């Protein structure tokens, strides 16, 4: 017997207060393969991992806002079947009857909704097998009724599988995978733009606006799959931020994430006792992303691609505070961002140089729409 946890949360973008940039589609974007004009449903499917889920939601909301505002956007959090989670390539080979038997319990018999055109958005290798299975099952229903394909899949991040398994594949540009349906990005996908940052800044509590200028935001990550934050790393980071604030004469707005160790905040509070600062806590109204709108610069700890990707949209100085020397993909990400003029390594000054803002969503959206309806 298959046991799966399922949580389905339905949220429509227009009720979230999210403002997304409008896109002017060029004449190459065609919809001749779809009997109805546009998708009636957008399913964002994740296992709840925040970094993956938020990227998928960002793209889903952008698609809905720019392509079909009346489409139902669903944020579906689930645990994929074990085989598809750990051996995603099996989704291409298993009999369709097996796939249906595995997935229908997870989706609580919702596959009948494929009677209308559905876009499925997934992110991360753990969700790749589910994406492939959804595409195959959608095609099965379409073929039975002599319809065009009723499910289009968009997968974010390199699944280490052939791009042909997906309708659209979005990968970081430093990954090697390429193909006619592959879209590359420098940063991770997110929902921010300068318009919603400015709007959120107007609603900030006085706790933040009363910080003396010049202000600097400090976006704190923490433990991750590559390493845990040790007490030594915590003390070093606290001293580094104290020295930066003392040297530059800035006040600090400290914004922790869910991964930030409690010890770090304790040490920071003690180390910054003589420095003007404020720390976000659970009792506060969330100051993010409004805080990005009132500061002169943004410090981001090196563990977080997502926080860095959001900060660079502003075009303000984005300074990377290293816990340790990063390696692998995240090191390649930071190297690319610094080479392109989006970020710098944190030292004891606020840079005067101009930083290049990076907002990739409009261009990515144009490419995705072109591939969905080609």
- Facing residues of 251 across strands? 215
Q: Is 167 inside a domain boundary?
A: yes
Q: Identify whether 81 is part of a domain.
A: yes
Q: 231: Cβ–Cβ under 8 A, 6 or more apart, which residues?
A: 263
Q: Are residues 27 and 122 in the same domain?
A: yes
pTM: 0.82
Same domain, 105 and 151: yes
Is 373:31 a contact under the CB 8 Å cutoff?
A: yes
Rg (CA), the chain: 22
Q: CA-to-CA distance for 155 and 157, rounded, in angstroms?
A: 7
Which residues are bridge partners to 172 per DSSP?
185
pLDDT of residue 362: 93
Same domain membership, residue 181 and residue 151:
yes
Say what the pLDDT of residue 34 is.
38
Q: What is the pLDDT of residue 263?
A: 81
Report the DSSP pairing between strands 72-78 and 6-10. Answer: antiparallel
Count structural domains, the chain: 2
Q: Are residues 208 and 313 in the same domain?
A: yes
Burial class (CB within 10 angstroms; exposed 0-12, middle 13-18, buried 19+) of 90: middle
Both 211 and 144 in one domain: the answer is: no
Which structural domain, as residue segments, surrounds residue 234? 194-345
State the greatest distance between any 2 C-alpha atoms of the chain, in Å, as a whole number: 72
Same domain, 269 and 178: no
Same domain, 174 and 267: no
Tens-digit pLDDT string for the chain (374 aa): 333 333 333 333 333 333 333 333 333 333 333 334 467 789 999 999 988 999 999 999 999 887 566 688 999 999 999 999 999 999 999 999 999 899 888 887 677 766 568 899 999 999 999 999 999 988 765 555 544 467 899 999 999 999 999 999 999 988 889 999 999 999 999 999 999 999 999 999 999 999 999 999 999 998 888 999 998 998 899 999 999 999 999 999 999 988 888 888 888 888 888 999 999 988 888 899 999 999 999 999 999 999 999 999 999 999 999 999 999 989 999 999 999 999 999 999 999 888 999 999 999 999 999 998 87
Phi and psi at residue 129, to the nearest 5°: -65, -40
Query: Does 356 fall in a domain?
Result: no
* 281, 208 Cβ separation under 8 angstroms: no
Q: Are 312 and 343 contacting, i.e. CB atoms less than 8 angstroms apart? A: yes
For residues 232 and 332, membership in a common domain is answered with yes
Evaluate whether residue 355 is within a structural domain: no
User: Of the candidates 92, 264, 242, 249, which has an alpha carbon nearest to the alpha carbon of residue 165?
Assistant: 92
Residue-level pLDDT at 206 = 93
Q: Supply the CATH number for residue 299's domain.
A: 3.40.50.2000
Q: Which residue has the tokens 């994406």?
A: 131
Q: How confident is the model at residue 28, as a pLDDT?
A: 33
Are 172 and 184 a contacting pair, CB within 8 Å? yes
Same domain, 319 and 221: yes
Query: C-alpha angle with apex 75: 63 to 158, nearest 5 degrees?
Result: 70
Q: Which residue has tokens 């390594």?
A: 345
180 and 68, same structural domain?
yes
Q: Three-state SS across the chain?
A: CCCCCEEEEECCHHHCCCCCCCCCCCCCCCCCCCCCCCCCEEEEEECCCHHHHHHHHHHHHHHHHHHCCCCEEEEEEECCCHHHHHCHHHHHCCCHHHHHHHHHHHCCCHHHHHHCCEEEEEECHHHHHHHHHHHHHHHHHHHHCCCCCCEEEEEECCCCCCHHHCCEEEEECCCCCCCCCEEEECCCCCCCCHHHHHHHHCCCCHHHHCCCCCEEEEEECCCCCCCCCCHHHHHHHHHHHHHHHHHHCCEEEEEECCCCCHHHHHHHHHHCCCCCEEECCCCCCCCCCHHHHCCCEEEEECCCHHHHHHHHHHCCCEEEECCCCCCHHHHHHHHHHHHCCCCEECCCCCCCCCCCCCCCHHHHHHHHHHHHCC
Q: Is 13 exposed, middle or buried (0-12, 13-18, 19+ CB in 10 A)?
A: buried
Q: Flag whether 281 is in a domain.
A: yes
pLDDT given at position 114: 64
Same domain (yes/no): 368, 340: no
């Amino acid at each position: 017997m298959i046991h799966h946890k399922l949580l389905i949360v339905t949220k429509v973008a227009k009720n979230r207060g999210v403002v997304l940039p409008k896109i002017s589609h060029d004449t190459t974007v065609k919809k001749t393969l779809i009997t109805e004009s546009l998708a009636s449903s957008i399913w964002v499917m994740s296992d709840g991992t925040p970094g993956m889920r938020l990227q998928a939601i960002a793209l889903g909301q952008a698609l809905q806002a720019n392509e079909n505002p009346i489409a139902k956007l669903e944020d579906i959090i689930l645990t994929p079947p074990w085989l598809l989670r750990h051996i995603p390539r099996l989704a291409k080979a298993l009999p369709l009857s097996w796939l249906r038997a595995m997935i229908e319990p997870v989706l609580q018999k919702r596959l009948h909704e494929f009677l209308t055109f559905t876009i499925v958005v997934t992110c991360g290798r753990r969700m790749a097998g589910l994406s492939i299975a959804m595409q195959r099952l959608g095609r099965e229903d379409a073929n039975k009724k002599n319809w065009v394909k009723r499910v289009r899949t968009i997968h974010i991040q390199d699944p280490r599988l052939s791009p042909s398994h997906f309708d659209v594949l979005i990968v970081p540009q430093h990954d090697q995978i390429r193909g006619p349906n592959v879209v590359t990005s420098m940063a991770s996908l997110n929902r921010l733009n300068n318009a919603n940052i400015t709007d959120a800044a107007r609603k900030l509590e006085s706790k933040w606006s009363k910080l003396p200028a010049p202000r600097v935001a400090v976006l704190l990550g923490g433990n991750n799959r590559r390493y845990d934050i040790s007490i030594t790393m915590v003390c070093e980071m606290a001293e580094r931020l104290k020295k930066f604030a003392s040297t530059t004469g800035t006040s600090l707005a400290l914004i922790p994430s869910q991964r930030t160790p409690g010890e770090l905040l304790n040490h920071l509070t003690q180390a910054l006792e003589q420095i003007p600062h404020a720390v976000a806590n659970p009792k506060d109204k969330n100051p993010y992303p409004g805080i990005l709108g009132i500061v002169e610069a943004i410090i981001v700890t090196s563990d977080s691609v997502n926080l860095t990707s959001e900060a660079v949209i502003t075009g303000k100085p984005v300074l990377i505070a290293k816990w340790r020397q990063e390696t692998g993909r995240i090191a390649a990400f930071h190297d690319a961002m610094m080479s392109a003029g989006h970020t710098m390594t944190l030292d004891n000054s606020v840079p005067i140089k101009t930083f290049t803002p990076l907002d990739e969503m409009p261009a990515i959206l144009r490419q995705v729409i072109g591939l969905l309806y080609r």
